[in-house]
Amino acid sequence: MKRPIAYFAGTGRGVPSTVMTNFDFAAIGIDTTDEWIVERTGIKQRHIAKTENATDLAAAASRKAMEKAGVQPGELDIIVLGTASPDRLLPSAAVDLQASLGASRAAAFDVGAACSGFIYSATVAEGLMATGNADTALIVGVEKLSAITDWTDRATCVLFGDGAGAAVLKRSKQQKGILSTFVRSDGSLGDLLCRPAGGAAKPFSSDVLAERSQYIKMNGREVFKNAVRSMSEAATRALDSAKLTGADIDLMIPHQANIRIIEATAKHANIPMAKVYVNVDRYGNTSAASVPIALDEAIERGVVGEGSTVLLVAFGAGFTWGSMVVRL
């Protein structure tokens, strides 16, 4: 096995204080039930940002990760941030985070890989560390999906939540850290989950606002099928390249979109649900933030710790998918 280049030196999460349960949808006129949402998705509640911006959530998660890693903002060489819901379209969310943290030495940039954003960001950061361009990296997944959700569309608005997760990567000097990574995408399926307007091809206009095309549109059935297939593939590919099997994994941390997608992925990877971290019931789908939030929780709760082998797997709009085996 190759010596890992980077290891997870600290993790953190930041979530909005406001919690919205499935029962709260009635108050905003959405025709749904707790039973429907729980049965189809496993989601019971989500955190919604009422006062916080994405940068605030990302900064809260990052400060915790840096504190645990014993790293000062000025020591960061790079900030790689995955998001589909930045506070503004220009400049990047990563430079807004950089300013908030005072990480003046860093090169900061966003990675556009939707729900796979954290795994893509970790992969990019590891690559920059491998080429000697960075020794200390901050990787972040953050979303304020509530700002780009159509709150009149019951097929999507019940799914998403807001939050951020972060990790500090340091150069590995032992046999711990990122053991393997796998990333893939298929842009031919981009229309199945997208925000049609608001970009340069279809800028904001009164027509856009009238048709609500600035919000997330999704073909749920197709997303579901592809998510199961691609997350299963990703789990197998990262295990294979680390020369491990499901039996070697202490915990799988899948993207938290839907309990049925998680169960199907675990089955394919031969990992029992007892070794799968699930918090979709409490956070909903927080896209790029879901894997690092779950990783941070799993470490904080002692589910995994020093020496544990963890499989991270994600899938999202693009479609994008990816995975990573990490020895903590």
CB 166 within 8 A of CB 94: no
**59 Cβ neighbours under 8 A, 6+ residues apart:** 14, 97, 100, 101
Q: Which stretch binds ligand ACO (CB under 6 A): 73-81, 123-131, 253-261, 320-328?
A: 253-261
- CA dist., res. 213 & res. 198, Å (int): 8
Q: Which is nearer to ligand ACO, 41 or 172 (CB)?
A: 41
Tokens linked to 309: 């082998």
Question: Helices 259-268 & 220-241, crossing angle to 10 degrees?
Answer: 30
Cβ of residue 80: shortest distance to ligand ACO, in angstroms? Answer: 20
Angle at 167 between CA 163 and CA 168, to 5 degrees: 150
CA atoms within 13 A on the CB side of 84: 31
Q: Which stretch binds ligand ACO (CB under 6 A): 4-12, 67-75, 217-225, 297-305?
A: 217-225
279 binds ligand ACO (CB under 6 A): no
Cβ of residue 99: shortest distance to ligand ACO, in angstroms? Answer: 29
- CA dist., res. 92 & res. 249, Å (int): 35
User: Could you say which of 159, 167, 169, 304 contacts ligand ACO (CB under 6 A)?
Assistant: 159
44 binds ligand ACO (CB under 6 A): no
Is residue 22 annotated as part of the catalytic site, yes or no? Answer: no
Q: Which is nearer to ligand ACO, 6 or 158 (CB)?
A: 158
User: Could you say which of 18, 32, 100, 309 contacts ligand ACO (CB under 6 A)?
Assistant: 32
Q: Produce one character per residue of 75-85: b if its CB has 16 or more CB atoms within 10 Å, e if not.
A: bbbbbbbbbbb
Is residue 268 annotated as part of the catalytic site, yes or no? Answer: no
The DSSP-derived string for 152-211 is T-HHHHTTB-EEEEEEEEEE--SS-EEEEEEEEE-GGGGGGEE--SSSSSS---HHHHHH
224 binds ligand ACO (CB under 6 A): yes
- DSSP secondary structure code for residue 218 in this structure: E
257 binds ligand ACO (CB under 6 A): yes
Q: Which is nearer to ligand ACO, 71 or 231 (CB)?
A: 231
223 binds ligand ACO (CB under 6 A): yes
User: Could you say which of 11, 53, 121, 285 contacts ligand ACO (CB under 6 A)?
Assistant: 285
- CA dist., res. 280 & res. 205, Å (int): 35
Q: Which is nearer to ligand ACO, 108 or 259 (CB)?
A: 259
Amino acid, res. 319: F
117 binds ligand ACO (CB under 6 A): no
115 binds ligand ACO (CB under 6 A): yes
Is residue 47 annotated as part of the catalytic site, yes or no? Answer: no
Residues of this chain that interact with ligand ACO (CB under 6 A) are 32, 36-37, 40-41, 115, 154-155, 158-159, 193, 218, 220-221, 223-224, 227, 255, 257-258, 285, 315-316
The catalytic residue positions are 115, 255, 285
